[in-house]
């Protein structure tokens, strides 16, 4: 497969992942009406880990040589990208509004690009920053112009959400450092298995009657859990890991700008939330900004920093 075709398939997979994650917002919102937030996070992550275990068995890449340094970076990625991100996200959603959360999540491309520049000595150009800013403006238009939306004062929930976004971005940078040591599939599997174990222990310890609550889930809730865990989390994580390996965490993170857009769209389609012409304007801004940032970032891929040794 040529490099151009590989990059095209990577971009298409990342766009599909953003769409799945946007739909996942609606799925998780429906689940958290009746199920504890921490249980939702842990069960869908465990389902993702099981799906990734099945997928990694068919991965043609050779297994990595698990040196101590490689294992340390893998565990760090799990702590940041899965355990800390999910835990902080759950805590934040109890304390802040959906409007604030969506806008803070849209800061992820800025944070990821900054971390990539800092850790991998990859300079940020004005066009790349401008593209990210345009995409963020599009997200802001969609979220703030929704009926009943408002930007409230800074709260503990807002700060927790910002920490969740930073944890996800830092975990992505860690995965990028591992991408020359093992296949993206193996890295994604390891990170999610470790993260799932940590989340499940946390949920069992912190949630009263956790096992009984899981066993009492009905068929519709399990359907949502399976979509969220297998499709959005597992398959989305595979596409995301391959995107980081091929494009770098900065360019890959540009697709996070699409998640709130798809979240609003699926909310309108499935939950009956209203749409207006501001949504079309925001969609155009996200499209223009994402394309500009991706082109300005160039075709560089990530480099190894000696993690394997």
| pLDDT digits 0-9 by tens, 36-65 | 888 988 999 999 999 999 988 887 766 677
Q: How far is CA 186 from CA 42, 191, 258, in A?
A: 21, 9, 26
pLDDT of residue 234: 92
Q: How many domains does the chain have?
A: 1
Question: Is residue 228 included in any domain, yes or no?
Answer: yes
| pLDDT digits 0-9 by tens, 207-262 | 888 999 999 999 999 999 999 999 999 999 889 888 887 887 767 877 877 877 78
CA angle 72, 162, 171 (to 5 degrees): 20
Question: Is residue 305 included in any domain, yes or no?
Answer: no
Residue 102 lies in domain: 3-296
pLDDT of residue 201: 93
Question: Is residue 231 included in any domain, yes or no?
Answer: yes
pLDDT of residue 279: 67
Nearest alpha carbon to residue 38 among 25, 28, 49, 27: 28
For residues 19 and 77, give the distance between their C-alpha atoms in angstroms, rounded to a whole number.
Answer: 24
Mean pLDDT by 10 residues, the chain (309 residues): 72 90 82 86 93 86 74 90 86 68 70 73 71 76 61 65 86 77 83 94 90 93 95 90 78 77 76 70 74 59 44
In the chain, where does DSSP find H-type helix? 3-31, 37-56, 68-78, 85-93, 98-105, 108-120, 126-144, 156-178, 184-206, 210-215, 219-226, 236-247, 249-253, 258-271, 277-296
Question: Is residue 233 included in any domain, yes or no?
Answer: yes
Question: Is residue 304 included in any domain, yes or no?
Answer: no
Q: How far is CA 11 from CA 210, 263, 271, 288, 302, in A?
A: 39, 19, 29, 15, 16
For residues 121 and 81, give the distance between their C-alpha atoms in angstroms, rounded to a whole number.
Answer: 22
φ, ψ (nearest 5 deg) of residue 263? -60, -45
Question: Is residue 203 included in any domain, yes or no?
Answer: yes
pLDDT of residue 184: 79
Question: Is residue 309 included in any domain, yes or no?
Answer: no
Q: Are 28 and 232 in contact (CB under 8 A)?
A: no
For residues 56 and 234, give the distance between their C-alpha atoms in angstroms, rounded to a whole number.
Answer: 11
Question: Is residue 156 included in any domain, yes or no?
Answer: yes
């Amino acid at each position: 497969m040529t490099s151009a075709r590989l990059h095209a398939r990577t971009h298409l997979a990342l766009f599909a992942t953003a769409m799945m994650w946007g739909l996942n917002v609606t799925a998780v919102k429906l689940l958290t009406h009746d199920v504890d937030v921490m249980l939702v996070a842990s069960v869908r992550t465990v389902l993702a880990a099981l799906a990734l275990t099945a997928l990694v068995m068919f991965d043609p890449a050779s297994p990595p040589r698990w040196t101590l340094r490689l294992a340390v970076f893998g565990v760090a990625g799990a702590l940041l990208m899965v355990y800390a991100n999910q835990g902080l996200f759950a805590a934040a959603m109890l304390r802040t509004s959906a409007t604030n959360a969506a806008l803070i999540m849209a800061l992820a491309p800025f944070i990821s690009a900054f971390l990539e520049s800092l850790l991998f000595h990859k300079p940020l150009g004005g066009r790349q920053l401008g593209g990210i800013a345009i995409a963020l403006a599009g997200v802001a238009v969609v979220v703030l112009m929704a009926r009943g939306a408002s930007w409230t004062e800074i709260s503990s929930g807002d700060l927790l959400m910002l920490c969740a976004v930073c944890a996800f971005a830092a975990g992505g940078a860690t995965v990028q450092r591992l991408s020359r040591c093992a296949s993206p599939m193996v890295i994604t599997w390891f990170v999610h298995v470790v993260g799932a174990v940590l989340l499940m222990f946390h949920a069992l310890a912190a949630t009263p009657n956790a096992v009984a609550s899981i066993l009492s889930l009905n068929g519709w809730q399990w359907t949502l859990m399976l979509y969220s865990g297998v499709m959005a989390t597992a398959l989305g994580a595979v596409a995301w890991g391959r995107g980081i390996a091929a494009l770098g965490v900065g360019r890959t993170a540009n697709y996070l700008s699409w998640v709130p857009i798809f979240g609003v769209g699926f909310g309108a389609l499935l939950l009956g939330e209203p749409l207006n012409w501001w949504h079309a304007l925001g969609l155009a801004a996200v499209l223009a900004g994402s394309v500009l940032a991706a082109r300005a970032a160039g075709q560089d891929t990530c480099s190894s920093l000696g993690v394997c040794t």
